[in-house]
């Protein structure tokens, strides 16, 4: 379903619940998020090696909606000092960014040499953040695998990736861990594995030979448009890549805990332990049954298993969800007893990215098609029921505004997986990059303000109902390169001028709202009059907790 401007205006006119900073407690952290390939640019500067995304965008620009790439992105590499100042001015207490593996290890591993210029960049960024009182939250892998490892042994299709990943993260812990106290091993394994090995819309571009086999795939932050792939097996490769990713995560967490968090390296050097924490970031929609039938309730449960449980259940139980075992059989790899023990409880916190909610309905496995990740689920997802959208559609047709979903997802995660500490590591919405608008016009984003207000309200309700959430990172700090969507959509609270030759940042209305919110002030002024007239504070409508379905 495409964007309906009338629906968005109707949404804007509905009452907005007031949220205040002190609703969340003094130890709650508000920040913004970004990622190396989407933000940094400087792709061929100061010794950085190529990643799989460099080759994907440059050699075959048709993969990207506007044929753009991240060579320059929004030039955060050169503009980080300016960006940090803007974060400080907005009142943001934390910045979640990722380290580019090929920027510090161009050859993928230590034997290929350490790039000190890359190390220096991240040292400078971390120091600049801390100097402004902004806490760094560092993601170690946000999809930009060094190209050399993909070419040498197929990247995450080989268990060799576990050793090389651990070598890379050990260098990061050593170089930055004296100041970085919050580590995220992987960002969103689901789209990395599904778009890379099922739909073929992300590098390495493997998957189905027919783009029509992927109707159950949920799109997320990128068009995710299936391609006709000449190579790959969507019935085995996504599971294999995900398995190796989970092993890399588990061994990296074990390494950090043994040698850095409370470890031997610092005993030998008579230095204090780093004492940070480490986790993983997963993305999931919430899923509701399309019809009030047991088949569709089971389909919604399976959708959560395949999108979220795939990478969360092993951390909670030591194995994959039973529904995935039942569906994929021997195509889903098994953990050894030693691996299962290592992976269980291999996180201090769970990072959770939420954007929207989908309907799910039972769809039998096609008898005339080979098994694949998408057909294994036996479901189809949709943003509409009886031609009525689940919520107003914003810029991308996959993103409906469904604020209640963040509550439902948080309660589900707590009750099904007993997760003790959660950070919302991404939440946000986009609008089309309309080049006909002036900068002044494009900076007015009342829908984004209301989106965040409504989600914060439901987040507050989840906390009130016992979910231990301690951080919220908005996506994103600034408009940036949005993967296969290129620069065609804008997610930022700061407007990035893609045409002035300087990538100048300007605060949108949402940045002004966040500044006031983070200073614990109610919105005032004529520019927000229409919104404030519709605000109400009402905690009595806390949604019913979702029932946990284990089938």
Residues catalogued as catalytic: 426
CA distances from 310 to 138, 218, 319 (A): 23, 14, 9
- How many C-beta atoms surround the C-beta of residue 162 within 10 A? 19
Dmax over Cα atoms in the chain, in whole Å? 66
* C-alpha span between 144 and 164 (Å, rounded): 14
- Cα separations in angstroms, 185 against 13, 30, 68, 165, 172: 41, 20, 28, 10, 11
DSSP β-ladder status, 505-507 and 535-536: unpaired
User: Positive or negative, the Cα torsion across 188, 112, 148, 237?
Assistant: negative
Give the Cα separation of 268 and 264 in Å (integer).
6
Strands 29-33 and 94-98: parallel
What is the SS3 assignment for 341-406? Answer: HHHCCCCCEEEEECCCEEEEEECCCCCCCCCCHHHHCCEEEECEECCEECCCECCCCCCECCCHHH
- Rounded Cα distance between 91 and 299, Å, is 42
Q: How many CB atoms lie within 10 A of CB 14?
A: 10
Q: Rounded to an integer, what distance in angstroms lies between the CA atom of residue 312 and that of residue 305? A: 9
Distance CA 320, CA 311 (A): 8
Cα distance between residue 384 and residue 392, in whole Å: 10
Helix (H, G, I), strand (E, B), or coil: what is residue 2? coil
Residues, the chain: 551
Would you tell me how many other CB atoms lie within 10 Å of the CB of residue 138?
24
CA gap 194, 311 in Å, rounded: 12
In degrees rounded to 5, what are phi and psi of residue 267?
A: -65, -45
Ramachandran angles phi, psi of 423, nearest 5°: -115, 130
């Amino acid at each position: 379903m495409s964007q309906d401007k009338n629906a968005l205006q109707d949404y804007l006119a509905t009452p907005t619940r007031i949220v205040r900073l002190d609703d969340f407690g003094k130890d709650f952290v508000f920040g913004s998020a970004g990622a190396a390939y989407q933000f940094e640019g400087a792709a061929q500067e100061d010794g950085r090696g190529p990643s799989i995304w460099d080759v994907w965008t440059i050699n075959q620009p048709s993969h990207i909606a506007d044929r753009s790439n991240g060579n320059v992105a929004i030039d955060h590499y050169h503009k980080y000092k300016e960006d940090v100042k803007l974060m400080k001015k907005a009142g943001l207490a934390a910045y979640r960014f990722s380290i580019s593996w090929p920027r510090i290890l161009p050859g993928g591993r230590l034997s290929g040499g350490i790039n000190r210029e890359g190390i220096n960049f991240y040292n400078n960024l971390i120091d600049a953040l801390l100097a402004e009182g902004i806490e760094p939250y560092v993601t170690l892998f946000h999809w930009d695998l060094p190209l050399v490892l993909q070419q040498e042994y197929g990247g995450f299709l080989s268990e060799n990736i576990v050793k090389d990943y651990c070598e890379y993260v050990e260098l990061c812990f050593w170089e930055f861990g004296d100041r970085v106290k919050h580590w995220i091993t992987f960002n969103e394994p689901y789209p990395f594995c599904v778009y890379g090995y099922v739909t073929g819309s992300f590098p390495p571009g493997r998957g189905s030979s027919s783009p029509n086999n992927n109707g159950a795939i949920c799109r997320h932050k990128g068009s995710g448009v299936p391609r006709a792939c000449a190579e790959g097996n969507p019935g085995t490769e996504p599971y294999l890549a995900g398995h190796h990713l989970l092993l890399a995560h588990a061994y990296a967490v074990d390494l950090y805990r043994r040698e850095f968090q409370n470890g031997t390296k610092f005993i030998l050097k008579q230095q204090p332990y780093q004492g940070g924490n480490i986790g993983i970031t997963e993305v999931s929609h919430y899923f509701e049954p399309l019809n009030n039938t047991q088949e569709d309730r089971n389909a919604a449960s399976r959708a959560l298993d395949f999108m979220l449980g795939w990478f969360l259940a092993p951390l909670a139980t030591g194995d994959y969800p039973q529904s995935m075992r039942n569906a994929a059989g021997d195509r889903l790899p098994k953990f050894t007893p030693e691996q299962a023990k290592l992976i269980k409880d291999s996180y201090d916190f769970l990072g959770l990215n939420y954007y929207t909610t989908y309907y799910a309905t039972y769809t039998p496995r096609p008898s005339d098609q080979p098994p694949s990740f998408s057909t294994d689920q036996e479901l189809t997802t949709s943003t509409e029921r009886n031609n009525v959208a689940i919520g107003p559609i914003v810029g991308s047709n996959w993103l409906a505004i469904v604020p209640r979903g963040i509550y439902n997802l948080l309660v589900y995660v707590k009750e099904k997986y007993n997760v003790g500490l959660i950070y919302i590591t991404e939440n946000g919405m986009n609008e089309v990059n309309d080049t006909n608008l002036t900068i002044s016009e494009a900076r007015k984003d009342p829908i984004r303000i209301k989106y965040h207000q409504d989600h914060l309200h439901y987040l507050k309700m989840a906390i009130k109902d016992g979910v231990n959430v301690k951080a919220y990172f908005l996506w994103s700090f600034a408009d940036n390169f949005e993967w296969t969507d290129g620069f065609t959509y804008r997610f930022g609270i700061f407007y990035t001028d893609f045409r002035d030759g300087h990538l100048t940042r300007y605060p949108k209305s949402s940045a002004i709202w966040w500044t006031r919110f983070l200073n614990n002030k109610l919105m005032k002024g004529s520019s927000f009059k229409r919104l404030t007239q519709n605000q109400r504070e009402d905690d009595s409508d806390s949604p019913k907790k979702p029932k946990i379905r284990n089938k």
